[in-house]
Chain A
Amino acid sequence: MSREHLETNIIRILRILGIIFFIIIVAFPFYWMIVSSFKSLEELLMRPANLWLDIRKINFNAYYEVLFEHGFSRYIANSTYVSIITVALSVTLATVGGYAVTRLRFRGQAFMSYSILIIYMFPAIVLVIPLYVVFSHMGLRDSIHVLILVYLAQTLPVALYMLRSYFQTLPVEIEYAGLIDGCSRMGVIWRIIIPLSAPALASVALYTFMIAWNEFLFAFMFLDTPEKFTLSRGVVQLAGSVHLSKQLVMAASVMVTVPILVLFLFFERYLVRGLTSGAMKG
C-alpha cells in the first residue's frame, strides 16, 4: 500500500470516528429524551437503564398529561405568542434600522452603526437584577409583554448587525434603479430589499425565534403566575414539582425542542440560497 493511500485511509477512518463521536455526544441525550417520553412510568421505574423503545409499548400518556393536566397547552400558546411577536418586531425594526445605518446618511450614523453590538456585551445575568427591581416598582413584572420587550432588547442588536452586514452586500444600483423606476424609500425596501434579503431575514427570524423560545432566565425571574408561564419556565416548574415523573419532564422537553428543529429544517434551504445572483454583470 502506498504512503498516499495509507494517509487517505487514515484520514477517512479518523473522519468517521469523529463523526460518530459527535453524533453520540449530540444525539444521544436527544434520543434518550424522546425514548423516555414515550415510556410509561412503570417501564421507566422497572428498567431504568433500558436504551430501547418497544414499538408496541409506545405510550402517549405523558404528552397528554403534560398538555392537559400540567398546563402545557397554555405554556405552548404563551411561548408561541411571545416568540412570534418578538420575531415580528425584531425583524421589522432590524430591517428598517439596518437599512438606515447602511444606506442613509445622518448625523451619528457611523456611531450608531458601530455601537449596535455594544448593547450585546452586557450579559443577561447583569441586567436581570436591575430590570427585576425596575419592573417590580413599575408593577410590570409579571407580564409576558415585558418579557417580549426584554427579548427584543436582547435580539435586536444581533438582528441589526446581521441585516446590516447583508444589506451592505446588496448592490446600491438596484436601489437606484428602483428609485428612478418610481419607488419611494419605503417602496425600495418593501419591493426590492426585502425580497432580495429573504435568506438574511429567514436567518434573523430563526435566530430571534430560538432565543425567545428557549429563553429561561428572564422568564424564570419575571413570571409568577402559572397562566403566564412560557415553555422553558413550565419545564422547570414541572421538574421541580413534588410528583417527579421523568417521562413527563421528557415529554415537556420534547415539546420545547422539536419546534425549533422543525423550523430549522424548514428554513435551512432559505439560509443557504443567495438571491442576488443575476442582478449584476456576473
Chain B
Amino acid sequence: MALSRVDIKVKDGEFCVLLGPSGCGKSTLLNIIAGLIPQDQGTVLLDGQSVDSLAPRDRDIAMVFQSYALYPHMSVSQNLSFGLRMRGTPKPTIRESVQWVARLLGIEDLLDRKPRELSGGQRQRVAMGRALVRRPKLFLLDEPLSNLDARLRANVRLELKQMHHQIQGTMIYVTHDQVEAMTLGDKVVVMRDGKVHQIGPPEAIYSYPSNTFVATFIGSPEINLYRGMLVRKDGLPHFQGAGFSLNLGRLQIDLKEGEVEVGIRPEDIGTGQAESMDLRAKVEMISYVGSEKYIHARLGDEALTFCAPKDTALQPGNVVHVAVDPGRVHIFHKGRRI
C-alpha cells in the first residue's frame, strides 16, 4: 500500500485514531511508525528525534495487533514479561510490573494459562497488557477490538478510554470503525488510498467534513449527498437537485453558480413545513433502531434518509413536509467543502 504526503503530529498523551476503509494504508502507516516496514521516503520523529535508523525494539514503542499475536508457547505471565525480560529488567521489577498490569486489566487469575486456554476477550486483554507493561513512549494499536463480538467490543472500548485517561499514554489507534474513532479519539485522521483526507477532533470531522469522502464515511446512517447545480435566485443561493430545489437562505458561499454536491445529515432534517421551503418527501420504508426510527423516503428523484422519534406516526406511502436548516447543509465543489 503506497502512502503519499502523510504528515501527522501526535501530541504527548494524545489518543490519535487513524480511520479509513480497509486498504487505505492506515496499517502500513502504523507498521512504518513501528519500524516493521521501512518507508521509501519521509521521516518518523519520536520526541523530535528521527527513529528511522532504529530497529523496532529500540524505538520505545509497543504494539497491539488485531490478531493479538500472543506467543502461543508461553503462559500469560511469560507473554506479559517477555518484553521486559528481553530488555534485561531486574526480576523483582518484572514481577511488580506484571502484577500491576494484571490488576489493571483484571487478569490476575489467568497468569499461568496458555493463550489457547483463553477466550477472545481475555486474549485481547493479554495483548493490551503486553503493551502496557513496558510503559513505552508510544502505543500503537492495530484494530485491537475488531475480533471481539459487538457487546464485548463496546465494553472494552469504554475500558480503553478509561485506561488511556489513567495512564496518560500517547496512542495511535487504527480502525475502520467510525464509532470507535469518534468515541476514543482526541484526534481523528481520516485516510483513503494512502492519503490523509482530514485531521481533526471528532466533532470537527463530523460537523465540518472537508470533502465528500469524509462526509459519507463518517456518520450512520450515511449522509444524504446530492449532485446538482448551485443557482442564484434574487441573489440568494439555491440548490437545484434532481426533482427538488433547496433554498439555502442567507448562507455565505464562495461560489457564484455551478455544479456542486450538497450533504445533509439525516438528523439535521426535520418534519413540518418551513417558511420559504417546500420540500415534500414520500415515505418508502421505515427502519426501527430502538431509540429512534430511520425514515427512508424519496425526495424528487433522489433517496432521502432522515431520523424521526420512535413514536412517529409516519407510515410508508405518506407524503411529508421536510425542513432543513441551511446552516447545517454541507456544500462541496469538486469534492471539496466550500
Interface size on A, residues (CB 8 A): 24
Whether the Cβ atoms of A278 and B118 lie closer than 8 Å is: yes
Q: Which residues of the partner chain B approach A176 to less than 8 Å between Cβ atoms? A: 31, 34, 36, 56, 63, 65, 69
| A180 in contact with B72 given A278-B117, A281-B67, A281-B147 (CB within 8 Å) | no
Q: Which residues of the partner chain A approach B36 to less than 8 Å between Cβ atoms? A: 176, 179-180
Comparing A8-16, A43-51, A182-190, A201-209, the segment that makes contact with chain B is A182-190
Instruction: From B57, B67, B123, give the contact of A180 (CB < 8 A).
Output: B57
Interface string of B106-124 (1 = CB under 8 A from A): 0000000011111010010
Q: Which residues of the partner chain A approach B34 to less than 8 Å between Cβ atoms? A: 176, 180
Report the bound CA distance from A135 to B43 in whole Å.
56
Q: Which residues of the partner chain B approach A171 to less than 8 Å between Cβ atoms? A: 67, 69
* Residue A275 at the chain B interface, CB threshold 8 Å: yes
- CB of B110, distance to nearest CB on chain A (Å): 12
Whether the Cβ atoms of B65 and A177 lie closer than 8 Å is: yes
Q: Which residues of the partner chain B approach A281 to less than 8 Å between Cβ atoms? A: 66-68, 120, 123, 147
Report the bound CA distance from A178 to B55 in whole Å.
12
* Residue A259 at the chain B interface, CB threshold 8 Å: no
Interface string of A188-231 (1 = CB under 8 A from B): 00001001100000000000000000000000000000000000
Instruction: From A179, A182, A184, A278, give the contact of B87 (CB < 8 A).
Output: A182
Report the bound CA distance from A281 to B116 in whole Å.
10
Whether the Cβ atoms of A182 and B72 lie closer than 8 Å is: no
Whether the Cβ atoms of B73 and A180 lie closer than 8 Å is: no
Report the bound CA distance from A175 to B35 in whole Å.
13
Q: Which residues of the partner chain A approach B8 to less than 8 Å between Cβ atoms? A: none
- CB of A275, distance to nearest CB on chain B (Å): 6
Q: Which residues of the partner chain A approach B56 to less than 8 Å between Cβ atoms? A: 176, 179-180
| A180 in contact with B68 given A278-B117, A281-B147 (CB within 8 Å) | no
Whether the Cβ atoms of A278 and B72 lie closer than 8 Å is: yes
| A182 in contact with B63 given A277-B116, A278-B117, A279-B70 (CB within 8 Å) | no
Instruction: From A181, A276, A282, give the contact of B83 (CB < 8 A).
Output: A181
Chain B residues numbered 75-93 whose CB sits less than 8 Å from any CB in chain A: 82-83, 86-87
Q: Which residues of the partner chain A approach B114 to less than 8 Å between Cβ atoms? A: 278
| A184 in contact with B57 given A278-B115, A279-B71 (CB within 8 Å) | yes
Q: Which residues of the partner chain A approach B63 to less than 8 Å between Cβ atoms? A: 176-177, 180
- CB of A171, distance to nearest CB on chain B (Å): 6
Instruction: From B35, B65, B86, give the contact of A173 (CB < 8 A).
Output: B65
| A181 in contact with B72 given A176-B34, A278-B114, A281-B123 (CB within 8 Å) | no
Q: Give the interface centre of B36, B67, B70 by most chain A CB atoms within 10 Å.
A: B67
Report the bound CA distance from A277 to B69 in whole Å.
11
| A278 in contact with B70 given A177-B130, A179-B57 (CB within 8 Å) | yes
Q: Which residues of the partner chain B approach A183 to less than 8 Å between Cβ atoms? A: 57, 86
Residue in B closest to A173 when the chains form the complex, CB atoms: B69
Instruction: From B55, B57, B71, give the contact of A174 (CB < 8 A).
Output: B71
* Residue B189 at the chain A interface, CB threshold 8 Å: no
Chain B residues numbered 36-73 whose CB sits less than 8 Å from any CB in chain A: 36, 55-57, 59, 61-63, 65-73
Instruction: From B55, B115, B123, give the contact of A179 (CB < 8 A).
Output: B55
Q: Which residues of the partner chain A approach B130 to less than 8 Å between Cβ atoms? A: 177, 181
Whether the Cβ atoms of A177 and B71 lie closer than 8 Å is: yes
* Residue A23 at the chain B interface, CB threshold 8 Å: no
Q: Which residues of the partner chain B approach A25 to less than 8 Å between Cβ atoms? A: none
Q: Which residues of the partner chain A approach B55 to less than 8 Å between Cβ atoms? A: 179, 184
- CB of A194, distance to nearest CB on chain B (Å): 10
Report the bound CA distance from A279 to B66 in whole Å.
11
Report the bound CA distance from A176 to B86 in whole Å.
14
* Residue A280 at the chain B interface, CB threshold 8 Å: yes
Q: Give the interface centre of B31, B65, B120, B147 by most chain A CB atoms within 10 Å.
A: B65
List 14 A-B residue pairs with CB atoms under 8 Å apart, sorted by A's residue number. A174-B71, A176-B56, A177-B63, A177-B70, A180-B36, A180-B83, A181-B83, A181-B86, A181-B130, A182-B86, A196-B72, A277-B72, A278-B123, A281-B67
A interface, CB within 8 angstroms of B: 171, 173-174, 176-184, 187, 192, 195-196, 275-282
6 additional contacts, CB 8 Å, given A174-B71, A180-B34, A282-B116?
A: A174-B69, A180-B63, A180-B83, A192-B71, A195-B73, A278-B117
